[in-house]
Amino acid sequence: RMTLQDLGPVCIPNTKMALPGLKWPKPYLNAMARALWTKGVDIEIVLSNPGSIPNGLGPLEACYGNGWTCNDVASEIIKRIKKQFPTAEDGDLRKKVEENLRVCFIRHDKSTTYPDGGNIGLHSKYFIIDDVASYTGSQNLYDCDLAEWGVLVDDVAATEKMISEYWTPMWENSYTGEDCDVQTVMDGLEIDRDGEEVSQFSYLNQAKLEDAARQSTRIGLSSNAAFYAKEGYGDDEEKDKLI
C-alpha cells in the first residue's frame, strides 16, 4: 500500500512523455512487478490528482501531481513484468490488473476536486509493507534530486493503527474502480513514457530542456528543466560555456 504524489517523473502536457532526460524509476517498478507476478501480492496505490496546485501558489512554485493517469502508472508496472518475465501471457497479465493491482487518485467523499473546482492534491510519501511495517517521509520514487528524510516503523501494532486511522479511511473515500481500466492499461504497454535522452552539457539539448520547461507551466518543472529555463542558457555569449 502506498500514497505518492506521483510514480512517474514530470510529464510534458498533453503527451505520454516525460521531460527530456527524465526516466521512470525502473528499479522500484521492477521490485513491484516481481512481487506482483511471483508472489501474487496485492498492490494498492493512491496518487495525487494531476495539476493539483496548493492554494495561493503558482504552478511553477508547487504542483502535486506530475501529469500521469492511473492507467499510465499501471501500464509501467505491467511492462516491468513483461520485461523480467518475457513468457508472461496477456491473459495472466490482465488478471493481475483485475485482481491484484489497484491504482486510484485521492478523493474526498468520492470527489477528486474541492468545492471551488481545484484538483485535490496529495504530497505525502507513505508506504505499508505486508501490514507489518511502514515508511513515512519525503522520498518520491521518481528521481527529483532532493535530500530525503523519513521514518521507518517496524512494529505490527503501530502499523495496524496507521492502517486503521489513516489508510483505510483514505482508501474507502478514494478507491472507486474507475481510475484504472484493464484494456487501457494493456493498450498502453507499448508506449515509451521516458523522456528523450539528452546531455545537459549540449547547447542544443539544453535548448530542448528550456522549451520543455516552458511547455510545463501548468504542472511544474523538474529541477534540471527549471534550472536551465531560469538561467536563460541560449544567449549566443553563453554557447562557449557549454561543453
pLDDT at position 13 is 81
Q: What is the dihedral of CA 160, 164, 167, 169, to 10 degrees?
A: 170
Q: How far apart are CA 216 and CA 14, in angstroms?
A: 10
- pTM, two decimal places: 0.81
Reported as a single tens digit per residue, the pLDDT across 191-216 is 999 998 876 556 666 666 666 655 55
More confident residue, 219 or 120: 120
Q: What is the mean pLDDT of the chain?
A: 84
Please say if the pLDDT value at position 239 is more than 70. Answer: no
Reported as a single tens digit per residue, the pLDDT across 64-99 is 888 899 999 999 999 999 999 999 999 999 999 999
Q: In what order do the strands lie in the sheet containing 101-105?
A: 101-105, 43-47, 2-4, 125-129, 133-137, 150-153
Cβ atoms of residues 165 and 171 within 8 Å: no
Please say if the pLDDT value at position 126 is more than 60. Answer: yes
Closest CA to 77 of 147, 132, 2: 2
